[in-house]
Amino acid sequence: MDYRPSRMAVVAKCAEAFIREFFDQNPLSHVGLVTIKDGISHRLTDIGGSPESQIKALMGKLECSGDSSLQNALELIHGYLNQIPSYGHKEVLILYSALNTCDPGDVMETVEKCKKSKIRCSVIGLAAEIFICKHLCEETGGSYTVALDESHFKELLLEHAPPPPAIAEYAAANLIKMGFPQRGAEDLISICSCHKKIKSGAEGYICPRCKVNVCELPTECRTCGLTLVSSPHLARSYHHLFPVAPFDEVTFKLGQKGGQNCYGCQQSLINSDSQSNLHVRCPKCNQHFCFDCDIYIHESLHNCPGCESQRSFSS
């Protein structure tokens, strides 16, 4: 066989890593698992926010047999994702090992249906390119890749962890309730709601609404159902959705006035050797930046200082 020890083991291992990475990158997102085998699809877990419970459910159900049916799976997923409110992104990632699909009806109609409900479907194939998968991904705006080997498979899978940039038409504004729990006090001993174990307050967080103890964030409160997050989570999710536009490379014309210094760090942009006065400019606010700041803004800060300060002026 091509993957060792077996395709199943490799997929399970990578899927576990993916679920962890996914929640790390998208703390606010939820995941549900669906298995495809024997011509039907089966819901393994409900859509939820806890990585541990998802992984546990997955590891308990590692089996494969029979034909696969892409249509059945998509129909099932469509049923679940359709209930998601409009501000959420609906994405399907299919890890597909089979080379065909045995469907009860016309799979093209189901593809159309997914497209209409704006469900973005992506497929990672394990063996070869299949036309229907390619068609599905093209229609719904997802990506279709085929793994060469185990490491490539993992790489492709993890590429799906950061979310795609928000598209204006998808992102309808809506208010949702969220709790920002605080770490409990040292001396407080309570039973955590997730593991039913006695813990000191410093190990967990207290839900601001019902005061129950939870072990990790982000999660949903077991008692009152409030979404519990921390502010860094929120910020991290946010920047993926609205990334800073890449800066344009520009060179100075001699004698040009103003903008001689980097807007970020105030260093002079004109080097002593006049050869390399290449630098970048934000296309929105037209502020100039040096390369160091460019990297810092795009990889760590995720906000453009120029645009942000302009916004504060105008407001």
State the residues that interact with other proteins by CB under 8 A.
Answer: 2, 70, 99-103, 106-108, 125, 127-133, 135, 145-148
- Least distance from other proteins to the Cβ atom of residue 147, Å: 8
For other proteins, give the closer residue by CB, 151 or 260: 151
- Least distance from other proteins to the Cβ atom of residue 174, Å: 36
CA dihedral 53, 57, 60, 66 (to 10 degrees): -160
Output the CA angle 161-167-171, nearest 5 degrees: 95
For other proteins, give the closer residue by CB, 8 or 99: 99
- Least distance from other proteins to the Cβ atom of residue 108, Å: 7
- Least distance from other proteins to the Cβ atom of residue 60, Å: 29
**Rounded distance between C-alpha atoms, residue 88 and residue 119, angstroms:** 10
For other proteins, give the closer residue by CB, 132 or 210: 132
For other proteins, give the closer residue by CB, 57 or 102: 102
3-state secondary structure labels for all residues of the chain: CCCCCCHHHHHHHHHHHHHHHHHHHCCCCCECCEEEECCEEEECCCCECCHHHHHHHHHHCCCCCCCCCHHHHHHHHHHHHCCCCCCCCEEEEEEECCCCCCCCCCHHHHHHHHHHCCEEEEEEECCCCCHHHHHHHHHHCCCEEECCCHHHHHHHHHHCCCCCCCCCCCCCCCCCCEECCEECCCCCEEEECCCCCEEEHHHCEECCCCCCEECCCCEECCCCCCEECCHHHHHHHHHHHCCCCCCEEEECCCCCCCCCECCCCCCECCCCCCCCCEEEECCCCCCEECHHHHHHHHHHHCCCHHHHHHHHHHC
- Least distance from other proteins to the Cβ atom of residue 156, Å: 10
For other proteins, give the closer residue by CB, 106 or 292: 106
For other proteins, give the closer residue by CB, 102 or 285: 102
For other proteins, give the closer residue by CB, 84 or 102: 102
- Least distance from other proteins to the Cβ atom of residue 159, Å: 12
Query: CA nearest 203: which of 214, 219, 218?
Result: 214
- Least distance from other proteins to the Cβ atom of residue 154, Å: 15
For other proteins, give the closer residue by CB, 134 or 222: 134
- Least distance from other proteins to the Cβ atom of residue 9, Å: 19
